[in-house]
Structure 1
Amino acid sequence: MDITLTNYEDESHQLDKPASLLVVDDDLRARESLVVLLKRQWSDIAQAADGEEAISQIQSRHFDLIILDLNMPKKSGDQVLSFIKNKNIQTTVIILSGETSINKVTEAVRLGAYDIFRKPYSYHELEHAIRNALHKVRIEEEKTQIQNRLAQSEELHRYMVDNSPDLIYILNLAGEFTFVNDSVTRLLGYHKAELLGKHYSEFIAEKDRLKAEYLFHERRKASRSNGTIEIGLKCRSKHPSKPFEVTTRPIELKSMGIYAVDSKDSRSVSTYLGTYGVARDISSRKKAEELITYQAYHDLLTKLPNRAMLHDRLDLAIKQANRSGETLIVMFLDLDRFKLINDSFGHVVGDQLLVEVADRLKVEIRTGDTLARLGGDEFMLLLPQPTSREQAESVAQKLIASLQQPFYLKGKEVYVNVSIGISVFPVDSNDINTLIKNADMAMYEVKSTGKNGYTFYNDKLEHAAAEKISIESGLRQALKKDELEIFYQPQIDVLTSQIVGVEALLRWNHPQLGLVSPNYFIKQAEESRIIEQLSEKVLTSVASDLFGNKEFLQSRIKVSINLSPTDIRQKEFPENFVSLAAGFDIEPGRLEIEITENTFMSDIQACTRKLQVLANKGISIAIDDFGTGYSSLNYLRELPVNAVKIDYSFISEIEHSKKGAALVSAIVGMAHGLGINIIAEGVENERQSEYLQSLDCHVMQGYLFSKPVTVNEFLESVTIQQKKSLASSA
């Protein structure tokens, strides 16, 4: 439907324009005399000498009033009147004529003459007639303009109503539809005629009828009417094969009462006629709200419940268990080796693995159980129904078994295991967060003892967790309060009895426990990343303790510093270590770093690259505790290793076990074959020393030679050794 809008402002300006007159008379003197008189009141006056000229001017422009003589040559006044009538030209005609025939006068009136004056006439009467005629013209024009405006306004409003996206309706007193706009077809699938005369309740969803009753009978006017409410309207089925299928569309409804007002007495009581309402389709908003709600309570990757929904269900389950006196189980699941897979194949493949893991786990649980993804590779399972510890173990075993089969990612077989911690309500706690924390704690216990298994929470885990927190907090305070000390244990070449090396050993002068070794705190230092600060502390202390001492600098003693796997895994580790050593003016050839075998187990290539950077600078690499980890000839061949240190656990077996002695012999022989230096640590007696010497292992470290000593005690030994060396050379 096209709407053409008229500019009524232009029409208003046209009403204000001066009146235009046309005087038509073949008598020149009479015509010009009249024009002179008329121009005293009106300025826009044209003349015509006969009917033909008059018609020509009427065709070329509009005249508000025409003063016309009847008897004229060429075309008469009657013919001019006929032309005006036939062409439906809107103008007013006053006749001036000497004609006395009643037929002529009657014909002129029939043809539309407004008034007739017989010559000779009174100008004042003519002027009065002209004014009345022009006034009537203005009234008719204004009336026409108002009618046009009303018609267009009605057309525009109908267009707006029929094309409104909202359903607009009117109900009569009986609650029947008397008007609906075209949107009813688009929104509900009905034709307008199907609603007209029908009661509104036929189209309201059953569950919303009571709520809708108040609104559809709304009698209050707009300012006092109810706010909007949400209800469902019945829709016609869109499937031809299912004509009786009823669906509903959510709408937002607002209505108000319609009243008839007495135009003569506005103070009289208005008459209630019915209800006017607007129903807005809110399907899109509802879908958006549902999506937002879904996202708020679900993990978008796996479509599992998230932490928020888990908390809600766990809260409900605890309340039900409290009433029934039953138990419930909370399991914390963490995938083993997921980070390695994610880093190796990328996040897209990692996400695919998480989805497939979720699918497998869902198969193993009951309908009433809740499996949620907390984030990353962490999942949680709630077993709310009466569950014994035996049933929980059975579920855990099934979950572990479900992940034993390979996953196929990018055409490769990938294996992933799971560690599961279990807490029990109400045995372990009555609190949601504590139950989750306890299950988490139990899961980490599984991680620390080999992974791919399950265990239940117990009080010992709580004590262990508290101790970890205490150690971490204490270490941070120790760094601030300078409670960390460096002790030095010499490495002796038994052939010359000379100190050829020294290992810097970190000790914590604990406020309550006294001097403690790294065995007490090193694991927690690595987990909390405090280890990086401790390693820097050791290197700083070594620089100030030893490399500022003249006698030590003159010796060729090499200093060994222990580094953890966490240190090595830092992206810029080798560059940072070399830069730090250079900052203290430490000669690289006097430094040796000791690493354990598990340092390079996760990524041998990356570890080799980093250690090679250090080796290229002249820093030596030693494998500490050799034989206790996952050593192999292949690793020794690939890594830039200068020395291996035989662990004290093997040295202690030399006297008591032939197998122990044989292992030591094998390690020494292997190292010699690869051209790698050997250092035996933990040597405590002469028999151990003699056996090692028989294997051609001459560099030793242990209490047989010296316990770890303070820097002053160590430097005193260095000074004595240097003086002896100078004396012998002299």
Structure 2
Amino acid sequence: MTASSIFSKLSRQSDGSWTAAYGPFVLQSALQPIFSQDADGHFEVQAFEGLIRPNKGGDPVRPAEFFPVVAREDKGMIDSLCRTLHIFNTGALGRQRAKLFVNFHPGLFVTAADIRREVELMRLAANEAGLTPARVVCEITQKENDSADMLALFVEELRTRGFQIAIDEYGADERDAARMKLLKPDFVKFEASWVKEFLENSAGYALLGVMVRQIKEQGAVPIFEGLEDLRQADLCQNLEVPLLQGYALARPEIAPTSFNEEFPETLNAARFDTRPAQELERYDPALHMPKSIYSAPAQLGGLRRATTFGKRTR
């Protein structure tokens, strides 16, 4: 799949968003913010996660219903197309620092040439959208039958091109420890239902605190997702979890989103660290979180949880 053939499937809409078509389906991007929270309870958007939203004849189709009907020979192309769509729609926001998390299914690309071609395609898409590779985080979805050697090659190629790596659904079992050792991720997304359960009891809460510290000491940034109420965000603040995501903070919105208006990029927020994990001896909060995001008027972006969050927009 060449860049020109992928790009030709994208359509720019009058509202500035990008869509794509596959047979009778129209594909759109939904973006969900990922926030940092400082010691005073201020939040700052540090990244977005790209989520695909198909529709057919204007009626929404669940992703779980769409992907199984994709022809086997088209699955790699659709994987690329979804990623490219998210990159273009994030670029259209015009933000200077926010990262983008996109899913990768390495098992769809089975030769070294396929892997290099796919990573180069993503680099070209990022360049076209005005994003540096360091702002694109590749969330690796690993299946049991995926080759560890090919997976390692995939990650090596991504890092060589300047992209960052995340693993998802981390739960500290043996398989997760092996993934950490193999991939050496920059970001670790904890398994949402597991976190929710452990936040509700003292023993689990203490274990989460230990795990968060361990992940930081390995040079990766922990992320808690699936947060459904602000009380959970308060608990995460006590655990010093660097990045938070969930409906309690902001729901996904189909591009074009209202996030530039609701959560404008502040001028004084510290830049998120973009160095690879191997260059960090250990986690440094001064680099990974804004030290102080002042309480400015909303139009200047000094957002506080009490006045900003809890609103469900979708």
1:713 partner amino acid: T
Tell me, yes or no, if structure 1 residue 606 matches structure 2 residue 141.
no
Q: How many Å apart are 1:489 and its aligned residue? A: 0.2
Q: CA RMSD in A?
A: 3.2
C-alpha separation in 1, matches of 2:137 and 2:242: 18
Q: Give the match for residue 567 of structure 1.
A: 108
Q: How many Å apart are 1:683 and its aligned residue? A: 0.8
Asked if 1 retains the 8 angstrom alpha-carbon contact of 2:136 and 2:163, the reply is yes
Q: Give the match for residue 43 of structure 2.
A: 497
Tell me, yes or no, if structure 1 residue 680 matches structure 2 residue 224.
yes
1:500 partner amino acid: Q
| CA shift digits 1:14-68 (9 cap, x unpaired) | xxxxxxxxxxxxxxxxxxxxxxxxxxxxxxxxxxxxxxxxxxxxxxxxxxxxxxx
- In structure 2, relative to structure 1, the CA distance for the partners of 1:669 and 1:598 (3 Å cut) is farther
2:22 partner amino acid: L
Q: Give the match for residue 106 of structure 1.
A: none
- In structure 2, relative to structure 1, the CA distance for the partners of 1:689 and 1:644 (3 Å cut) is same
2:192 partner amino acid: Y
Q: How many Å apart are 1:626 and its aligned residue? A: 1.6
- Identity %, equivalent residues: 21
| CA shift digits 1:366-404 (9 cap, x unpaired) | xxxxxxxxxxxxxxxxxxxxxxxxxxxxxxxxxxxxxxx
Q: How many Å apart are 1:694 and its aligned residue? A: 1.9
- In structure 2, relative to structure 1, the CA distance for the partners of 1:499 and 1:523 (3 Å cut) is same
Aligned equivalent of 1:596, options 135, 141, 149: 141
Q: Give the match for residue 638 of structure 1.
A: 182
1:343-358 alignment, distance < 5 Å: none
1:627-706 alignment, distance < 5 Å: 627=171, 631-658=175-202, 660-661=204-205, 664-706=208-250
Aligned equivalent of 1:518, options 38, 57, 63: 63
- In structure 2, relative to structure 1, the CA distance for the partners of 1:564 and 1:523 (3 Å cut) is farther
C-alpha separation in 2, matches of 1:524 and 1:654: 36
C-alpha separation in 2, matches of 1:524 and 1:565: 20
Aligned equivalent of 1:509, options 37, 45, 55: 55
| CA shift digits 1:472-519 (9 cap, x unpaired) | xxxxx961345211100000001151110000001121449x424433
- In structure 2, relative to structure 1, the CA distance for the partners of 1:578 and 1:664 (3 Å cut) is same
C-alpha separation in 2, matches of 1:724 and 1:711: 26
C-alpha separation in 1, matches of 2:124 and 2:217: 37
Q: Give the match for residue 251 of structure 2.
A: 707
- In structure 2, relative to structure 1, the CA distance for the partners of 1:667 and 1:507 (3 Å cut) is farther
Instruction: Say which SS state the counterpart of residue 235 (structure 2) adopts.
Output: helix
Q: Give the match for residue 98 of structure 2.
A: 557
C-alpha separation in 2, matches of 1:573 and 1:664: 38
Q: How many Å apart are 1:570 and its aligned residue? A: 4.8
Asked if 1 retains the 8 angstrom alpha-carbon contact of 2:266 and 2:301, the reply is no
Q: Give the match for residue 580 of structure 1.
A: 121
1:84-103 alignment, distance < 5 Å: none
Which ranges of structure 2 fall in alignment gaps of 5 or more residues? 1-19, 270-298, 303-314
1:190-269 alignment, distance < 5 Å: none
Bigger RCO (CA 8 Å, 6+ sep): 2
- In structure 2, relative to structure 1, the CA distance for the partners of 1:660 and 1:570 (3 Å cut) is farther
- In structure 2, relative to structure 1, the CA distance for the partners of 1:636 and 1:589 (3 Å cut) is same
Aligned equivalent of 2:72, options 524, 528, 531: 528
1:42-121 alignment, distance < 5 Å: none
Instruction: Say which SS state the counterpart of residue 703 (structure 1) adopts.
Output: coil
Equivalent residues, number: 247
TM-score under structure 1 normalisation? Answer: 0.31
C-alpha separation in 2, matches of 1:511 and 1:615: 40
1:315-330 alignment, distance < 5 Å: none
Asked if 1 retains the 8 angstrom alpha-carbon contact of 2:76 and 2:109, the reply is no
2:141 partner amino acid: T
Q: Give the match for residue 161 of structure 2.
A: 617
Q: How many Å apart are 1:689 and its aligned residue? A: 1.4
1:130-529 alignment, distance < 5 Å: 479-495=22-38, 496-511=42-57, 514-522=59-67, 525=70, 528-529=72-73
- In structure 2, relative to structure 1, the CA distance for the partners of 1:481 and 1:522 (3 Å cut) is closer
- In structure 2, relative to structure 1, the CA distance for the partners of 1:614 and 1:655 (3 Å cut) is closer
C-alpha separation in 2, matches of 1:638 and 1:588: 21
Q: Could you tell which deviates more after superposition, 539-548 or 684-693? A: 539-548
- In structure 2, relative to structure 1, the CA distance for the partners of 1:655 and 1:541 (3 Å cut) is same
| CA shift digits 1:388-426 (9 cap, x unpaired) | xxxxxxxxxxxxxxxxxxxxxxxxxxxxxxxxxxxxxxx
Asked if 2 retains the 8 angstrom alpha-carbon contact of 1:646 and 1:664, the reply is no
Asked if 2 retains the 8 angstrom alpha-carbon contact of 1:612 and 1:640, the reply is no
- In structure 2, relative to structure 1, the CA distance for the partners of 1:727 and 1:652 (3 Å cut) is closer
Instruction: Say which SS state the counterpart of residue 149 (structure 2) adopts.
Output: helix
Q: How many Å apart are 1:529 and its aligned residue? A: 4.5
C-alpha separation in 2, matches of 1:677 and 1:560: 13
Q: How many Å apart are 1:528 and its aligned residue? A: 2.1
C-alpha separation in 1, matches of 2:169 and 2:209: 15
1:494 partner amino acid: Q
Instruction: Say which SS state the counterpart of residue 264 (structure 2) adopts.
Output: helix
2:223 partner amino acid: I
Asked if 2 retains the 8 angstrom alpha-carbon contact of 1:597 and 1:631, the reply is no
Which ranges of structure 1 fall in alignment gaps of 5 or more residues? 1-476
Instruction: Say which SS state the counterpart of residue 530 (structure 1) adopts.
Output: helix
C-alpha separation in 1, matches of 2:180 and 2:204: 21
Q: How many Å apart are 1:647 and its aligned residue? A: 1.6
Asked if 2 retains the 8 angstrom alpha-carbon contact of 1:621 and 1:641, the reply is yes
TM-score under structure 2 normalisation? Answer: 0.67
Q: How many Å apart are 1:638 and its aligned residue? A: 2.8
Q: Give the match for residue 10 of structure 2.
A: none
| CA shift digits 1:588-635 (9 cap, x unpaired) | 111111123436x64222211221111122101100122298634243
C-alpha separation in 2, matches of 1:651 and 1:619: 27
C-alpha separation in 2, matches of 1:531 and 1:663: 39
2:233 partner amino acid: S
Tell me, yes or no, if structure 1 residue 716 matches structure 2 residue 260.
yes
Q: How many Å apart are 1:662 and its aligned residue? A: 5.1
Instruction: Say which SS state the counterpart of residue 631 (structure 1) adopts.
Output: helix
Asked if 2 retains the 8 angstrom alpha-carbon contact of 1:506 and 1:517, the reply is no
| CA shift digits 1:550-603 (9 cap, x unpaired) | x32xx210111112243354543431233213333142111111123436x642
Q: Which has the larger radius of gyration?
A: 1
